[in-house]
Structure 1
Amino acid sequence: MQVTTLSDGHLTLPRSLLFASLDPEAVDQILQARGIAAGPMHPPLNVTLLRHAGRLVLFDAGSGPGFQNTAGQLTAALDAAGVTPDEISHVVFTHCHPDHLWGVLDDFDDPLFPNAQYLMGEAEWAYWFDPNTASTISGDRASMAVGALRRLEVMEERLSRFGDGQEILPGVAAHASHGHTPGHMSFELRDGQQSLLIGGDAIGNHHVSFVQPEWAIGTDQDANLAAKTRLRLLDMLSHDQMQLIGYHLPKGGIGRVEKAPTGYRFISSFEE
C-alpha cells in the first residue's frame, strides 16, 4: 500500500463554533501552548490517496467549489500528484459534511470522478438520504443536509454501503466511529505488520481534543458519543502504536498518538 495525503486547502471557523460550551481560559491555555494565535481557527483539509492492487482510492472528496474560498483545492493537488480525476477507481466517505462530500461534483454539478465507485457506511447514508433530515437537524446545519442529499442522489446508482467491521476493499476495514455524525466511519488499513487508521473527523483537532478528549466540541452532532469515540480511538492508537491520518490534523495529518501527562499528544510524521 502506498498512502499519501493531498491538501484540499483549509477552513476558516470562528472559535465559538468549536468551543462555545467550554471554559475560554482553559481553551486559550491549551491553544497558546501550541502556538495557535487568537482569532479564527484554520483547520487543514487532508484527503487521503491510497494506491494499492491497481486501485486509486480517495478517502473523502474535499469541499468542491461551493463551500469556502480557502478550500476546494483537491483537483490541483491531484494534478500535482500526477493523478487525473478519471483515474480514481473508488471514493470512500467517512461522513457527509460539506468539506468531505461536496467535492464529488465539479463546477458544473457533474461528477468529478466519472469512473469511480462510491462507498459509504449504511447508517451515514440512511441519515443524510432521509429527506426529513433537513427539517429535523439543527437550523444552522439544514443547508448541509440539503447539499448532502443532492449529491447522494447523483451518486446513488454507483454507491455501495457497508457496516462496521466489513472489509470494503482488500486490506481496508470499516471501523464505526459515530458521534461527529450519526454514522461516521473510520478505516483501518493493514499491509503486513503495518497498520494505519484513516480517522476522518473522529479526532477533529490536534490540541483540545488530545489534551482533553472528553470535552465537547461544537462541530460534533452528538458531543457525548463523539467524546467516548475519541477516547476509545486515542487509547487504541497509542496502545497499538498504529499510525493515524486525521482530516484536520496539521502537516498533512499523518502521525501517531502517544500518552501525555494530561491526555494525549499528536506526533506528526514530519516531526520524527
Structure 2
Amino acid sequence: MWDWFKDWIFSIIQFFYGFCHDWGLAIIIITVLFRILVAPLMHKQAKSNYQMQKIQPKIQNLQKRYANDPQRQQEEMQKLYAEAKFNPLAGCLPMLLQMPIFVALFQVLREMGQREEVQDYCFYNIVPNLVMTPQQALEVGFGTFVPYVILMVIFAGATFLPMVMMQLKSENTQQRNQTLIMGGVMSLFMLWISWSSPAGVLLFWGASSLIGIAQNQITLAMCRKEDARKEEEQVIEVKPVEVNVTRKEKKKRPTKKK
C-alpha cells in the first residue's frame, strides 16, 4: 500500500515533468501544490501559535503563582485556555495530518536515483544532478559543489526561521535567548543531515519551508489586523457619548412705557 502511494506521487511528479521537461521545476510545482493542499491546516497551526504567544505571559504568571499547587495550576490554565479560546492540540493536529504526504514525498525524492524511468535528474543548469548529495558533489569539484551548498543553507535555515522570527518579538528575554540557541543548534544538525541527502530532497524541503514562511507571515498579519479591529471596537464602546447642547439666546424682556 505504501509503495503504491509512493509510486502514485512519483507519477504525479513525472506528469509535471512532461510539461516543463525539468525535474527540479517539477519538484517545485509539486511542492507548491502540496503547500496549497495543506494551507488551511497550516493557517490553523500558525493561528494557534499566535494565540499561544499572546497568552504566554499569563501562563508564566500562573506557573509562578501556583508553583506549589499543580492541581490548582492546571485548573487555572484550563480557564485561561477557555477565555482565550485556545486549544493546545490545535497546533499539533495539522502537523500530524500532513505528515504521511510529506514522508511519502521525502522518500520518493530520496529514492529517485533507484528508478529506471529516467536517469537525467537535473534542475536546468543550476543543479546538475538532483540525485547527487552535497558530499558527492564536493568530490566532483568545488564548482559543482556551490549550488549544493546554497541548497544546504536554505534547507537548514528556512526550517527554523519561522520559530526564530516569532520569538524575536517576545518580551521574555530568557525564553527568546533559549529559542535562538536551540534554533542555531538545530540548524547545525540540519546541515549535518543535508550533507548526505540528495539535492532533490533539499530542493523540496527548502522550497516548502520558504513557502511556509510566507504563509505563516500572511496568517500573522491577518491575526494582528483582527486584534487591532477588536481593540478599536472596544475603544468605541467605552468612549462616552458627547452631546452637543446649543443654548438658546434669551430674549430681552419688553420694557413698560411710562
Identify which of structures 1 and 2 has the higher relative contact order when contacts are C-alpha pairs closer than 8 Å and 6+ apart: 2
TM norm structure 2? 0.27
> Which of the pair has more CA radius of gyration?
2
User: Which structure carries more strand by proportion?
Assistant: 1
TM norm structure 1? 0.26
